């Protein structure tokens, strides 16, 4: 939990609503664990390969459950946001600071996972409509929680994640919001982040489906 919130200082947008939606998403995607996981909460890598191929192999040889790219890796869901698909691993390497195409398990590093979660929600890279979280959760406007979920996985479980979001947002506001202080060393202003307790969960899904970027995410 701490690494997710600490990443907000580096990659966050200083908004209460984003700060609330980030842990709400992580809470769901990690099955309430709040730490990086492999898809289906399986381990090791070989077991996950069997799992995703058994569940999604019928969708065709171009689906994410099969090896892709020059290294023969399977780009199933990994990390805090469950990064999926070869294309997304390639595009996220710059933010990760490591070649995720060659080393996809680096997405399981907590710091990298948190960084990717923030960056993806804010810039809308996984949204087929190209909209980031601020478009759906405007600072001074009405929240569109159904479509906010498109920043990660179309509208899958949007209402459940919306309940988590409201609980986190309430806790953040009760803690005084996201006050800004000047970081030492003439660095940019950084938020003092409250650390609310996670909301009471619904039962976790044994597996989560991740549609292909710019195709199913519409």
- On the question of pLDDT at 179 being above 80, the answer is no
Tokens of 168: 């986190």
36: left (phi over 0), alpha (psi -120 to 50) or beta: beta
> Could you tell me the pLDDT band of residue 208, with boundaries at 50, 70 and 90?
very low
Q: Which residues contact 209 (CB under 8 A, 6 or more apart)?
A: 56, 153, 156
Task: Choose among 148, 52, 160: nearest CA to 104.
Answer: 52
Q: How far apart are CA 67 and CA 57, in angstroms?
A: 11
Tokens of 51: 């799992």
**Can you tell me the mean pLDDT for 85-113?**
96
**Can you tell me the mean pLDDT for 113-127?**
94
Q: Which residues contact 25 (CB under 8 A, 6 or more apart)?
A: 81, 117, 121, 152, 161
Cis peptide, bond prior to residue 44, ω within 30 of zero = yes
Tokens of 80: 């805090």
- On the question of pLDDT at 186 being above 90, the answer is no
Which pLDDT belongs to residue 3? 84
Measured CA to CA in angstroms, residue 42 lies from 37, 66, 75, 101 at distances of 8, 17, 14, 21
Among the ranges given (45-54, 134-143, 170-179), the one the predictor scored with the smallest mean pLDDT:
170-179
184: left (phi over 0), alpha (psi -120 to 50) or beta: beta
- On the question of pLDDT at 37 being above 70, the answer is yes
> Which domains are assigned to the chain?
2-191 (1.10.530)
Q: What is the mean pLDDT of the chain?
A: 85
Tokens of 114: 């948190």
What is the share, in percent, of the chain residues with pLDDT greater than 70?
Answer: 82
> Could you tell me the pLDDT band of residue 215, with boundaries at 50, 70 and 90?
very low
Q: How far apart are CA 162 and CA 149, in angstroms?
A: 9
Q: How far apart are CA 158 and CA 11, in angstroms?
A: 24
> Could you tell me the pLDDT band of residue 206, with boundaries at 50, 70 and 90?
very low
- On the question of pLDDT at 69 being above 60, the answer is yes
Which pLDDT belongs to residue 199? 62
**Can you tell me the mean pLDDT for 212-218?**
42
Question: Among all chains, which residue has been given the structure tokens 């409201």?
Answer: 166
């Amino acid at each position: 939990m701490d690494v997710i919130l600490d990443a907000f200082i580096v990659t966050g947008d200083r908004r209460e609503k984003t700060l609330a939606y980030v842990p709400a998403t992580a809470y769901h995607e990690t099955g309430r664990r709040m730490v990086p996981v492999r898809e289906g909460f399986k381990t090791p890598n070989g077991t996950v390969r069997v799992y995703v191929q058994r569940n999604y192999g019928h969708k065709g040889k171009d689906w994410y459950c099969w090896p892709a790219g020059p290294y023969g890796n399977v780009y199933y869901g990994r990390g805090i946001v469950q990064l999926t698909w070869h294309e997304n691993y390639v595009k996220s390497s710059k933010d990760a600071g490591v070649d995720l195409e060659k080393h996809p398990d680096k997405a399981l590093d907590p710091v990298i996972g948190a960084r990717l979660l923030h960056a993806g929600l804010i810039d809308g890279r996984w949204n087929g409509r190209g909209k980031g979280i601020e478009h759906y959760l405007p600072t001074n406007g009405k929240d569109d929680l159904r479509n906010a979920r498109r920043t990660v996985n179309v509208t899958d479980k949007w209402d459940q994640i919306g309940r988590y979001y409201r609980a986190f947002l309430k806790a953040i506001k009760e803690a005084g919001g996201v006050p800004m202080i000047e970081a030492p060393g003439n660095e940019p202003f950084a938020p003092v982040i409250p650390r609310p307790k996670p909301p009471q969960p619904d039962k976790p899904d044994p597996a989560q489906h991740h549609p292909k970027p710019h195709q199913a995410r519409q």
